[in-house]
Amino acid sequence: MENLRYIRETMSRAGEFTGVPGWGGVAMGVTAVAAAAISGPPDNSLRWVLIWLAEAAVASLIALAAMTIKARRSGAALWTSSRGAPAYRFALAYAPPLVAGFVLTPVFAATDLMARLPGCWLLLYGTALAAGGALSVRIVPLM
């Protein structure tokens, strides 16, 4: 029985993360365009930052919901208790650049660099996608 558990855990760690659906990305893009229309160009206002922080929260909820729906439809386990689970490994690679953006946002705001935030956020988001995509199906890391 111990051998069977070892085999299952090994297979789980070797699994590919494929839970990021395209339609979830489209929905996040639509909400980002709406946030851009509402917020306008970057300025040194609290309003501008709050609109984009709200958009980040909405996009996160959309991504989580889309991944959960896709996992349920395919019958795949998205989250398991194993640290080798594909979603866990994806989150470990994806989170650090986003945390860096979270830390840098108030620094940029305090030093009147708000106009530079969109570029910083895009750079860090792209880094997060590349890092998380490295654990995805074979074609994603090549893109």
- Looking at the structure, do residues 98 and 118 belong to the same domain, yes or no? yes
Residue 4 inside a domain? The answer is: no
pLDDT 10s digits, 33-90: 999 999 999 988 889 999 999 999 999 899 888 888 877 777 766 666 556 566 777 7
Do 111 and 129 belong to one domain?
Answer: yes
Closest CA to 87 of 12, 138, 26: 12
Helix (H, G, I), strand (E, B) or coil at 85: coil
Helices (H) and strands (E) in the chain, counts: 6, 0
Q: Please check whether residue 16 is in contact with residue 136, taking contact to mean a CB–CB distance below 8 angstroms.
A: yes
Question: What confidence score (pLDDT) does residue 73 get?
Answer: 79
Give backbone dihedrals phi and psi of 69, rounded to 5 degrees, phi first: -60, -45
Which one is predicted more confidently, 1 or 14?
Answer: 1
Q: Based on the structure, what is the number of domains in the chain? A: 2
**One domain for residues 50 and 89:** no
Instruction: Kindly state the tokens that stand for 63.
Output: 């991504």
Domain that holds residue 24: 19-75
